[in-house]
Structure 1
Amino acid sequence: MNSAPTVGRRPRAPLLAATLALLVIGAWAAVRGLEAGGVLGDRDDGRTVLLWAPVALLLILQSVLYACERPHRADAAGQRALDELRIAVLVPVYNEDPAYLRAALTALAAQSRRPDAVHLVDDGSDDGCPAVEKWWTRHAAEAGIRTTWQRTPNQGKRHAQVTALREADDADIIVTVDSDACLAADALGEVLQPFADPRVQGSAGLVVAANHRATLLTRVTDLYFVANQLVDRSALSPLGAVMVAPGSLAAYRAPVLRDNLAAYLGETFMGRPVHFSDDSLLTLFALLRGRVVQQPSAVVLTAMPERTGHHLRQYLRWMRGSTIRSLWRARHLPLTHPAYVAQLLRWFLQLVCTGALCWMAVLHLRHDIGFSPWLATVPLLIGYAQALRYLTVRRSDETLAHQTVTWLLTPLALLWAWTVLRAVRWYATLTCGRTRWGTRAGGPEVVLTAPVTA
């Protein structure tokens, strides 16, 4: 099995300048559109501006914050302390494609900073991947990595992680990795860098698609998710308030998990056990103890859904979990915590945007105010500006020209997000009491048909 593609970062300055230019043009188009439509004027008395002004200010604040994000770098003393930490990787496995699983384990063994231990738990898969187990046991021994491989009845990802955790009594840092997640060669060493700061309790990696060329869906999904991580999560990282560290690659100080095992395994919502949103719950535990940051240089390649049905079921599960977790953050985080404030601002933005759109519709009906085409360009320009973050990721298996073509698909990604995914999100909110997992019950849903090559 070949190694994963190398992933780096392109110079930020040109892309930041282009982002600023697009945002300025977007602001100008918004003003022109409101003037042309008659919204700005005597008939409105500035009320629409008052509705949209907070949204504009929050957009500016978010842009400044994500522009300030930098990969964490330990000094010499901090690096010596990091080198002494014992690292255990937990890998839950359930109905995984054997080729993806083998690629993930190959990447773990090839890390520039190798883990001290890798603990796998097969959570009642239909086929326990015995060939991969036999190969990995031998391969890990050759690499000098202590490993265990257990099989249990199907009880869910959290039980699998806790079963693996019980084999890691001596670990200082716990790293969670999904069974289809192929780490870039330096990902483990990079995701550890923030822990040189004793305030940091959790560190999130950057997730990109391993199968981004498989279908149009995976290509658009890769654009949407990478840009979202490098905008939303990157804006929260300087505040130490990242709200979800991805299961594909996240690291925590060991007490974050060990001290919360009962709450982790026993979470209920509306009287029902919660079987998803494990990543965001671990992140919440870490936020209650200190800072959670993103390390954008810690890159992991993971399998994205290649079929629409799988994609929608995965997103539905994520959004149900997001609804539950947002309530937990409001309930458990201190009022002054940046993540608490960020959660309130998310709710505020949803209400303001809905209210402003309704108010403009009322103005249109009552005063015969027209809709200017200029306004239609505003979300498109903002979307293109934020999606430029996708181009900061440089992959050895993809040219800049190919990435630029993907970036040009931003209108398609926005249309999908505003229509289909928005409807799924509202449906997820209304049905968040359904707390089952919802995918892989019938076996692997994404199969590796071509090797992950450099």
Structure 2
Amino acid sequence: MNAEDTGALTARRRRPALLLAALAGLLVVATVLAAYGLRAWSVALGAEGRWAQWTWTPLAAALVLQTVLYLVERPVRAAPAQQRALDRLEVAVLVPVFDEDPDYLSEALTGLLEQTRRPQSVHVVDDGSTVDYREVRARWLRAAAAAGVRASWQRQSNRGKRHAQVAAAAHCPGADVLVTVDSDARLDPHALYELLQPLADPRVQAVAGVVVAHNNRRSLISRIADLWYLSSQLVDRSALSPLGAVMVCSGALAAYRAEVLTDHRDAYLAETFAGRPVTFSDDSLLTFYALQRGRVVQQPTAIVFAVMPETVGHHLRQYARWMRGSVIRSLWRVRYLPVHHPVFLAQVLRWYQHLASTAAVALLLGRSLSSGTQVPPVLLAVPLLIVSGQTLRYLTVRRSDQSLRSQLGTWALTPLALAWSWTVLRPVRWYATATCLRTGWGTRRHGPEVTAAPGA
């Protein structure tokens, strides 16, 4: 019986030649329009226009390099001898739970038993939830026992996700690999098998899965988040993966060699920033520890369905938390990684891209308005063409619960997603930078914020 027969959610990666041709065409047109528009603006604004050309040239070079790198990413495939070694690994899954919707939690746990490569054990820690999980717990423990998977379920007072993960790891001291899975994350049936493949290389310390939105059609916000988040993984993260320099492994699905957590357990639990305890950005800190020990890669065929915010308020609070964590972690990368480390270089380049693009647009638009010089219309189309080419990556993941027509409809939201990013998310990012000392979680303060659809 295959995965579709069991009703499991499935997803697979494809790289159609048509999408590659479309990407090439969009980038060529964007390059021509950018060259023409910048030249026209340079003539109109004089010295300031020439300054803009010098600013944008490194950004264009970085874009070309990024495009080449994400196009060369391929799924890792272990050789037969390596696969036998992978099959012998003791794999434990850690599932921290706090005020999760019971239906989503039950679905996440069920998905772990549908894996073509099952884990040896699964350990759930309820971190002081206000939700009653007694029915889910009893049903899950019975199902795990019937499947031959060792399972534990522990409840503790609310201490945060990191403490929950460490408590879960205490139940599997002999594990070779620790897999983190969020309590709302439903794995594709092949996800765990795929996730372990890169660990055939002893230099690889951590592997990131690819996250798609489980509830992508429940609201416009969740649909835009699905488009933006999946595309960013298959662009930014895919470009860093060939270098072994993935900066963040999403908590929805990631694999770590057990020592990454156990050897850094005390520091992981006691992280502070400006004297304040840090309770978020746990995924990026584990990834940072892994980068200090070796390579971190993405396996683009290890796919997980995770729940995304469905309201604007939840979406913005989650994004602000992510960006506050990004500020802290970026400082850690530059401070503690050697200057020749690819992540150090990528982080510095990322700072330059963000600052230069924001400053150049703000200064030149301001100068254009003050002088009455019109921005060349063709130049305004360049960002949209570039981003439309990048979001074509969204179409490379085919899902069992979404038609191609629906996917194309989501991709068609790219202009709206770009406008949302520049007018809303970018200011939120600057706000998060200014308020990075607020190290609280910020979501799930009054129970589950997203609930499963009736009859799901």
| Bin for the TM-score computed over the shorter chain | over 0.9
Taking structure 2 as the reference length, what is the TM-score of the superposition? Answer: 0.96
- Over aligned residue pairs, what C-alpha RMSD do you find? 1.7
How many residues in Structure 1 have an aligned counterpart in Structure 2?
452
Matched, 1:18 2:22: yes
- Give me the whole-angstrom Cα distance separating, in 2, the residues matched to 1:305 and 1:154: 23
Look up the equivalent residue of 1:110 and give its one-letter code. E
Matched, 1:78 2:89: no
Look up the equivalent residue of 1:388 and give its one-letter code. L
Structure 2 counterpart of 1:182, from 182, 186, 189 = 186
Q: Which moved more, 1:183-192 or 1:304-313?
A: 304-313
- Give me the whole-angstrom Cα distance separating, in 2, the residues matched to 1:249 and 1:45: 46
Look up the equivalent residue of 1:279 and give its one-letter code. D
Distance 1:218 1:367, change over 3 A: closer
Residue matched to 1:168: 172
Look up the equivalent residue of 2:434 and give its one-letter code. L
Residue matched to 2:228: 224
- Give me the whole-angstrom Cα distance separating, in 2, the residues matched to 1:347 and 1:238: 21
Deviation of 1:419 after TM superposition, in Å, equals 1.2
Report 1:363-402 matches (<5 A). Answer: 364=368, 369-402=373-406
CA contact (8 A) 1:51 1:356 kept: yes
Taking structure 1 as the reference length, what is the TM-score of the superposition? Answer: 0.96
SS of the residue 2:293 aligns to = coil
SS of the residue 2:226 aligns to = helix
- Give me the whole-angstrom Cα distance separating, in 2, the residues matched to 1:242 and 1:350: 18
Deviation of 1:364 after TM superposition, in Å, equals 3.2
Residue matched to 1:447: 451
Look up the equivalent residue of 2:184 and give its one-letter code. D
Q: Which moved more, 1:43-52 or 1:391-400?
A: 43-52
Distance 1:335 1:47, change over 3 A: same
CA contact (8 A) 1:86 1:116 kept: yes
Matched, 1:66 2:70: yes
Overall identity of the aligned pairs, in %: 58
Report 1 or 2 for greater relative contact order, CA contacts < 8 Å, sequence distance ≥ 6: 1
Deviation of 1:162 after TM superposition, in Å, equals 0.3
Residue matched to 2:425: 421
Report 1:229-308 matches (<5 A). Answer: 229-308=233-312
Deviation of 1:78 after TM superposition, in Å, equals 0.8
Structure 2: segments with no counterpart, 5+ residues = none
SS of the residue 1:288 aligns to = helix
SS of the residue 1:336 aligns to = coil
Structure 1: segments with no counterpart, 5+ residues = none
Distance 1:332 1:107, change over 3 A: same
Matched, 1:158 2:162: yes
Residue matched to 1:57: 61
Distance 1:130 1:17, change over 3 A: same
Deviation of 1:16 after TM superposition, in Å, equals 1.5
Deviation of 1:367 after TM superposition, in Å, equals 6.2
Deviation of 1:63 after TM superposition, in Å, equals 0.3
Distance 1:45 1:223, change over 3 A: closer
Deviations 1:264-298 (A, max 9, x none): 00000111110000000000000000000000100
Deviations 1:58-102 (A, max 9, x none): 000000000010011101111011000000000000001110011
Structure 2 counterpart of 1:127, from 126, 131, 139 = 131
Deviation of 1:28 after TM superposition, in Å, equals 1.0
Deviations 1:317-344 (A, max 9, x none): 1111111111111111111110111000
CA contact (8 A) 1:38 1:370 kept: no
- Give me the whole-angstrom Cα distance separating, in 1, the residues matched to 2:18 and 2:455: 34
Report 1:178-217 matches (<5 A). Answer: 178-217=182-221
Deviation of 1:10 after TM superposition, in Å, equals 2.2
- Give me the whole-angstrom Cα distance separating, in 2, the residues matched to 1:40 and 1:295: 48
Q: Which moved more, 1:35-44 or 1:217-226?
A: 35-44
- Detail structure 1 runs of 4+ shifted over 6 Å in the superposition: none
CA contact (8 A) 1:39 1:48 kept: no
Matched, 1:138 2:122: no
